[in-house]
Amino acid sequence: MNKQEKVEFVINTLKQLYPNIPVPLDHKDPYTLLIAVLLSAQSTDKKVNEITPQLFAYADNPYDMVRLSVEQIREIIKPVGLSPMKAKGIFGLSKILIDEYHGKVPKSIEALEKLPAVGHKTASVVVAQAFGIPAFPVDTHIHRLMYRWNLSTGKNVVQTERDAKRLFPKSLWNDLHLQIIWYGREYSPARGWKLEKDIITKTIGRKSVIQDYYKKSSKK
């Protein structure tokens, strides 16, 4: 298969596996999505979904959020980790949204990246999932799979994002980034990976990755 055929194989396989794509983080609007994505840094979506109902019961909009103290926010979000930095970020960005955006979440990656504790990946997820603007947020799953599938030699997520945007049609970016995340979790995880179940890597994967897998398997 040439590269274009590989790309089409990935698109078609993911479409068959995930025709209806669930959004991993529970939210009801752009603000609650922004907070949930911010909380998910170095944590799991499962843990974030356990914590956000408690936080949003107190404050599900920036006006109510700034009525809480940073310490109160931190106490609620402690189980997701990095709580001092995240609590400050949530309070600070809520204040900026009120002061500069009439309490609304801006629709541009550039504006979002200027908010406290909001990085490029968080901003990309928000514009893609809240506003339907094409973006390709790259997390650890996508970074791992793009390398395994020999579609990127990305040493970091910035390079991997560039490769993904170059290879995949823009109209599919928002679906694909979620489909690849689900696929990575179910079929191609970092730990406990079974190549036999991983149809995409088995079919188009990087030779060195497949050889390493069989070498390690034979030693077990």
Residues with catalytic annotation? 121, 139
Rounded CA-CA distance 199/204 in Å is 9
Q: Looking at residue 61, what DSSP letter applies?
A: S
Which bin fits 192, alpha (ψ -120 to 50), beta or left (φ > 0)?
A: left
Q: CB neighbours (10 Å) of residue 76?
A: 20
Q: How far is CA 20 from the centre of its chain?
A: 17
Question: Do residues 203 and 9 touch, judged by C-beta distance below 8 A?
Answer: yes
Spell out the alpha helix ranges (H) of the chain: 3-17, 30-39, 45-58, 62-65, 70-77, 83-101, 109-113, 120-131, 140-148, 157-167, 173-186, 199-204, 207-219
Distances (CA, A) of 47 to 14, 39, 43, 81, 117: 26, 9, 7, 10, 19
Rounded CA-CA distance 121/45 in Å is 15
